[in-house]
Amino acid sequence: MKIAMIGFGNVGRGFLELLAARRETLLTDEGFAPKVTAIVTRHGALMNTDGIDLTRPIELSQSPISEDVAANIVDAAIAGADVLVELTPTNVQTGGAGLAHCRAALNAGKHVVTANKGPLVVAYRELAALAKEKGVQFRFEGTVMGGTPSIALGLETLATAGVRSVRGIVNGTTNFILTQMEAGKTYAEALKQAQELGYAEADPTADVEGWDAAAKVVILANTLMGGDLRINDVHREGIAQITPDMIAEANVAGKRWKLIAEAKRDGMGVAASVRPTLVPLTDSLAFVGGGMNALTYETEAIGPVTLIGAGAGGKATGFAVLTDVLKVWRGIQA
């Protein structure tokens, strides 16, 4: 199997490290010996039809490539591969370059694995239908809860149980900030700490205003519950207005503020929201602290099932990409 990777940040590095570290196990246990034939970024690309040597450091040029040339490189990378691993930066309004890459690969009859929320949020139905038409797999475990298998649990393991709603904490940065505020910090202090630790970006809008959580809840609504939402369909409120007084009042009332994302059936459709919510201490979600994520799937057959795990990290999300690539391989073998 030949893999072309577009985008090469922390997740891409995590994925390639795992692939190198597990080379022998994958071959012995699964008969799986993938070659990475292309690594493409906006600054440079590595291509090798015999497979790039992953045991040596991957070094890419830092000179930007012109758009024309970049498009040709992308086309060539996809044409020479069996699977596209799409890891470019997320754009949840337009789908960004990632959406074009996914479309091109699926149209060319290539399997697609992505940890990029943009293509899913903007065009899940279209991409899933295209994959079905072309007889290829389209996988996206890394888009929600990082490496923790929230998609596999909802889409595979719990599918026959009938998922009626999902509700939980899907943004680690805001959860870290709220946890720090419970320990006595102000919002500004907690945000600064999150930025110093690398949890929050210099511009924290995507996290603190709930855009990241909204993108994830759109993905959950559309992939697990048959919804057809876009990001602007989500009722979205951030955490910037949470004050130390509100935290203290919640504490007295035996509750905690959490940024809760929820998708639930609403008549014929699915409704989704992201909002700061007072969670009682009787709810498991109240105790999910720091950078952890959690989702409660309300099912018809077996009631609520909660999954808790790390919600981010290049290595963990890279692992999600690896499991998806491995499922593509198993699917081809079957």
* Interface ranges with a second copy (CB under 8 A): 18, 146-149, 152-153, 156-158, 160-161, 281-282, 284, 286-289, 301-310, 315-316, 319, 322-323, 326, 334
Angle at 109 between CA 107 and CA 115, to 5 degrees: 80
Nearer to a second copy, 164 or 192 (CB): 164
Of 45 and 316, the one with the shorter C-beta distance to a second copy is: 316
Bridge partner residues of 86 (DSSP): 6, 114
Q: How far is the CB of 190 from a second copy (least distance, A)?
A: 18
| Rounded Cα–Cα distance for residues 5 and 40 (Å) | 6
Q: E strands, the chain, where? A: 2-6, 35-40, 45-47, 83-86, 111-114, 138-139, 163-169, 235-236, 255-266, 269-280, 292-299, 303-310
Q: How far is the CB of 141 from a second copy (least distance, A)?
A: 10
| CA atoms in the 13 A half-sphere facing the CB of 243 | 3
User: Is 147 in contact with 320 (CB distance < 8 Å)?
Assistant: yes
Which residue, 22 or 103, is less far from a second copy as judged by CB?
Answer: 22
Nearest approach, Cβ of residue 277 and a second copy (Å): 17
Cβ contacts of 49-53, under 8 Å, gap ≥ 24: 49/2, 49/80, 51/2
Active site residue 327: no
Q: In the bound complex, what is the minimum distance in angstroms from residue 287's beta carbon to a second copy?
A: 5
DSSP state of 68: H
274 CB-near residues (< 8 Å, 6+ apart): 210, 213, 214, 217, 234, 235, 236, 237, 259, 260, 261, 262
Q: Least Å distance between CB 53 and a second copy?
A: 23
Which residue is catalytic, options 117, 216, 264, 327?
Answer: 216
CB nearer to a second copy: pick between 160 and 186: 160
Residue placing its CB nearer to a second copy in the complex, 44 or 309: 309
Closest CA to 267 of 227, 235, 234: 227
Distance CA 316, CA 253 (A): 36
CB of 95 to a second copy, least distance (A): 27
Token output for 284 = 């498991």
With respect to a second copy, which residue has the nearer C-beta, 132 or 235?
A: 132
Active site residue ranges: 216
